[in-house]
Amino acid sequence: MTNEQRDSERERSRRRLRRQKQVAALAVVLALAVLLGVGLLLLSGGDASPPASTHSAKTSTSKKVEPKPAAAVPWLSALAGVINKATHLGETAALDRFTARGKPVYCGGSSGHYVALTFDDGPGAYTPRTLAILHKSHLRATFFLIGSNVPSRPSLPRIELKDYASLGVHAWVHKSLEPLKQAKIRNQIVWTRNAIATATGAEARLFRPPYGARNARVDRVARRLGMVEVLWSIDSGDSQGKNWRQIGREVLRNIQPGSIVLLHDNRGQTIRALHRLILPGLEKRGLIPVTVPELLMLDPPPVDGPSSLCWVHWHP
């Protein structure tokens, strides 16, 4: 495939993603767009300038009267804002459904072309490089943050949330939550969520326990806090010391529509695998990386279905 063909395919994939998002919130978009159009029509009619008098036109033959240019109406920008708001509402509604379900999410559905790349343990030294790679490819991912790391890098979470990512809670410190009592589990989640809110102005709705270690207490606390507990269907193996080629091969060998991939953005080998193998490999397969909320909106798994419906690739 030539570079021109790859660029064309990438652009078609992006357009397809945009159409999917718009369709997911079509009712809201249409309603608001109609109201916007009516408002602009009324505004245009009310601001119309009175026509020049016949007398003025006859007596001013020596001077041509230039028509006053119409005021610019940024209706395209307004409509784009409506679509973005509707998309956000669609993602929020999807998260609400899975919060009410109260069970961990391992993957999305299998009927679309979407996968979710997720990065744990940041923000850290390699986070800017990860964001730069995503930005260059016009892609988004999900970052599960360690709360105690957020204050030391206050600008990174804001950039991630605005342009490249959805943010989630990992824990305040990277230790298993299973041995803890409910109050301490709650503190680990709430402290991290508050740190993210302070840094970004937004509330994190996603939660991933360190090591994926969970029990009934962890699940119960997450549910009561309104969090969607997100695990994964593919472990890249980067936390087990694999090199960048092994990481990339592990992901691409097991990837399929709806996969949620576990990665870590505090490891240089992972970032190299992302840039050189994973993203090019997903593009060749026609798979589009999205955030977890986008995946749950665009191609969700059955809300009431068992987790076994998701093909899970665990590494002991």
User: Tell me, what's the pLDDT at 13?
Assistant: 63
Average confidence score pLDDT of the chain: 80
Q: Output the pTM of the full model.
A: 0.75
Mean pLDDT (whole number) for 38-65: 43
Name the DSSP letter for residue 240: G
Mean pLDDT (whole number) for 164-177: 95
Q: Which residues contact 79 (CB under 8 A, 6 or more apart)?
A: 33, 36
User: Tell me, what's the pLDDT at 89?
Assistant: 79
Residues 250-260 pLDDT 10s: 999 999 999 99
Does the structure show a pLDDT above 70 at 18? no
Mean pLDDT (whole number) for 174-187: 98
User: Tell me, what's the pLDDT at 140?
Assistant: 93
Annotated active-site positions, please?
120, 264
Percent pLDDT > 90 in the chain is: 57
Of the given ranges (81-90, 100-109, 306-315), which has the lowest mean pLDDT? 306-315
User: Tell me, what's the pLDDT at 200?
Assistant: 85
Mapped onto helix, strand or coil, the DSSP state of residue 64 is: coil
User: Tell me, what's the pLDDT at 241?
Assistant: 92
Most confident of 9-18, 72-81, 130-139: 130-139
Q: Which of 280, 286, 244 is nearest to 113 (CA)?
A: 286
Does the structure show a pLDDT above 50 at 113? yes
Does the structure show a pLDDT above 60 at 44? no
User: Tell me, what's the pLDDT at 283?
Assistant: 96
Check residues 178 and 70 and name the one with the higher pLDDT.
178
Mean pLDDT (whole number) for 69-96: 63
User: Tell me, what's the pLDDT at 289?
Assistant: 97
Does the structure show a pLDDT above 70 at 243? yes
User: Tell me, what's the pLDDT at 216?
Assistant: 96
Helices (H), 205-259: 216-224, 244-254
φ and ψ of 175, to 5 deg? -135, 155
**Residue 11 pLDDT level (bands cut at 50, 70, 90):** low
Domains and CATH numbers, the chain: 105-301 (3.20.20.370)
Q: Does an H or E element contain 156, and which? A: helix 155-159
Does the structure show a pLDDT above 70 at 154? yes
User: Tell me, what's the pLDDT at 86?
Assistant: 59
Mean pLDDT (whole number) for 59-73: 48
Decide the pairing of beta strands 260-264 and 234-235: parallel
User: Tell me, what's the pLDDT at 19?
Assistant: 58
φ and ψ of 286, to 5 deg? 75, 25
User: Tell me, what's the pLDDT at 152?
Assistant: 84
Q: Which of 68, 183, 166, 74 is nearest to 119 (CA)?
A: 166
Mean pLDDT (whole number) for 121-135: 92
